[in-house]
Amino acid sequence: VVRMTIDPAADRPAYRQLADLFRKQIVSGAYRAGSRLPSEPTVAQQYGLGRETVRRAMAVLRAEGLVITVQGEGTLVRTPAQPRRVRLGPGDWATVRVPSDGERRGLGLDEGVPVIEIHRAAGASELHPGDSTTIFTG
Amino acid sequence: VVRMTIDPAADRPAYRQLADLFRKQIVSGAYRAGSRLPSEPTVAQQYGLGRETVRRAMAVLRAEGLVITVQGEGTLVRTPAQPRRVRLGPGDWATVRVPSDGERRGLGLDEGVPVIEIHRAAGASELHPGDSTTIFTG
DNA sequence: TACTATTTGTTCGTATGTATA
DNA sequence: GTATACATACGAACAAATAGT
């Protein structure tokens, strides 16, 4: 089965077109949270692409925090994390960044999850997972 | 010249070891902001690695916002952006995420730069570049 | 428990295209 | 205009983790 949705001659690279296709299906709910995407060889064969092209598309989605990939299992749509709230008091400030690989694993975070650093007026600082966290002033 | 700093038999993959090496040199200042890293073929030859392995290491550093890569020019250490401040007033809240590819380019942001979304109490919302922006309450 | 099949992870090689110096 | 350097893409091989039998 060949689907004509990827145009190798298009301006946009094939792996980005493929990422666009899956992103649409994920955000639209066609792929529900926790569900598994088709395996890389399956997608490659269906769209007439090499496996590396498929893997690059998956890497894009991981970097955006839409999916996670587990070796031996597959690529899964990420389940929304428990919502948290962090209060920013007078004199506090917050900054944001993408953690380094080691830091991310040390915090137990998935790819595509930025970290929020809260600098308290007292001098201390806290790290919070960037997804699922809302910053508010009380 | 062969440097014996990458161990193919190590637990950690070669591309992560290589990323670690460059990350250290960047954060330590050995590579100053705006300076160019050695070309991919050069690094590959120096460390006895394939070019794709080098490219994966560079992709790691890009995702962390440490470098940018320009086709035809090379990989450059990112220059710190102009600091900005965003005020979070009573009833406002803020969330953070890694932008999608299209959104990132629409905002003119580099890879590895998360976005801050400020939800105003009035109902409007603003997007701010995640690097260089400090959230404060005043 | 043990084995097998499936699936992703890593790495190298090759080729071609495109942007920059 | 040429050389350099990165971007994309396919193929191949083996390793490692998982799932199911």
The answer to whether A135 touches B93, Cβ cutoff 8 Å, is yes
In degrees, rounded to 5, the angle at the alpha carbon of residue A77 between the alpha carbons of residues A73 and A80 is 125
Looking at the DSSP bridge assignments, the partners of residue B75 are: B69
* Among A3-7, A80-84, B30-34, B71-75, the least confident range: A3-7
Confidence category of residue B14, pLDDT binned at 50, 70, 90: very high
DSSP state of A37: P
Digit-coded pLDDT (tens) for B94-131: 999 999 998 999 999 999 999 999 999 999 999 999 99
* Among A23-27, A63-67, A79-83, B87-91, the least confident range: A79-83
Residue B3 above 50 pLDDT?
no
Tell how strand A84-87 and strand A74-77 pair up. unpaired
The answer to whether A99 touches A80, Cβ cutoff 8 Å, is no
How many Cα atoms occupy the beta-carbon half-sphere of A129 within 13 Å?
19
What tokens were used for B2?
């062969």
Question: At residue B135, what is the residue type?
Answer: I
- Chain mean pLDDT for chain A: 93
Q: What is the mean pLDDT of residues B14-27?
A: 96
Residue A10 above 70 pLDDT?
yes
List of E strands, chain A: 67-70, 74-77, 84-87, 93-97, 115-119, 125-129, 133-136
Q: Decide: helix, strand or coil at residue B68.
A: strand
- CA separation for the pair B93, B115 (Å, rounded): 14
Contact B100/A134, CB-based, under 8 Å? no
Residues of chain B in Cβ contact (below 8 Å) with chain A: 16, 19, 23, 59-60, 63-65, 88-101, 112-114, 116, 130-131, 133-137
Q: What is the mean pLDDT of residues A86-104?
A: 95
Confidence category of residue A4, pLDDT binned at 50, 70, 90: low
- Lookup result for tokens 């066609």: A30
In this prediction, residue B11 carries a pLDDT of 87
Q: What is the mean pLDDT of residues A86-114?
A: 94
- Lookup result for tokens 């077109």: A17
Neighbours of B10 (CB within 10 A): 10
Nearest to A137 among B65, B88, B113 (CB): B88
- Lookup result for tokens 């060949």: A2
- The reported pTM is 0.92
Q: Which of A131, A28, A26 is nearest to A75 (CA)?
A: A26
Q: What is the mean pLDDT of residues A40-62?
A: 97
Provide, rounded to the nearest whole percent, the portion of chain A with pLDDT above 70: 97
In this prediction, residue B2 carries a pLDDT of 42
Provide, rounded to the nearest whole percent, the portion of chain B with pLDDT above 90: 86
CA distances from B22 to A106, B8, B43 (A): 20, 17, 11
Neighbours of B80 (CB within 10 A): 8
Chain D footprint positions (protein CB, under 7 Å): 3-12, 16-19
